[in-house]
Amino acid sequence: MLPVPDKYALCVGKGEGEKKLTAFDAALLDAGIGNMNLLRVSSVLPPACVFDNEIDLPLGSLLPVAYGSITSDVEGETISAAIGVGVPENPEDSGMIMEFSGFCEADEAAIKVEEMVREAFEMRQVKLKEVKVKAVDHVVKKCGSVIAACPLFYARP
């Protein structure tokens, strides 16, 4: 079993490429997580996890991450992704991470993930301390991609 992460960050990125996968790779690089091996996880923020936007990990590290992304090769199309984290009042409770991607602008995507975070807390009957949201949008030139992510990682000894 892997250890429970004790830190999290919010990052967004956008990019263009010749192909869909290279556009996605460009978005990962722009978000600052392009040189990690991503392990996609669902939407639970571990209890007592601390926000830290400094992801100081060796290249190639295994990085648990919840994310929303979208890639398009339709010139002129607007694509967006947003990530939202709900932090519980009680640090012994787990928080929630929600992600969204779609064909809209960043502000609309941000509203959608915040609504989902609030609903997830209501369903769990957990008191919400704060919601952190980050969103990005991009108008496709040739082949574009966006990502909004919540990496979960560990304090380095």
Considering the candidates 43, 80, 94, 145, report the single residue annotated as catalytic: 43
Strands 11-16 and 144-153, sheet pairing:
antiparallel
Determine the Cα–Cα distance for residues 67 and 101; give it in Å rounded to an integer.
9
Considering the candidates 37, 53, 77, 122, report the single residue annotated as catalytic: 37
DSSP state letter for 102: E
Determine the Cα–Cα distance for residues 151 and 54; give it in Å rounded to an integer.
11
37 is known as an active-site residue: yes
**110: Cβ–Cβ under 8 A, 6 or more apart, which residues?**
82, 84, 133, 134, 135
Considering the candidates 69, 72, 94, 99, report the single residue annotated as catalytic: 99
Catalytic residues: 37, 42-43, 99
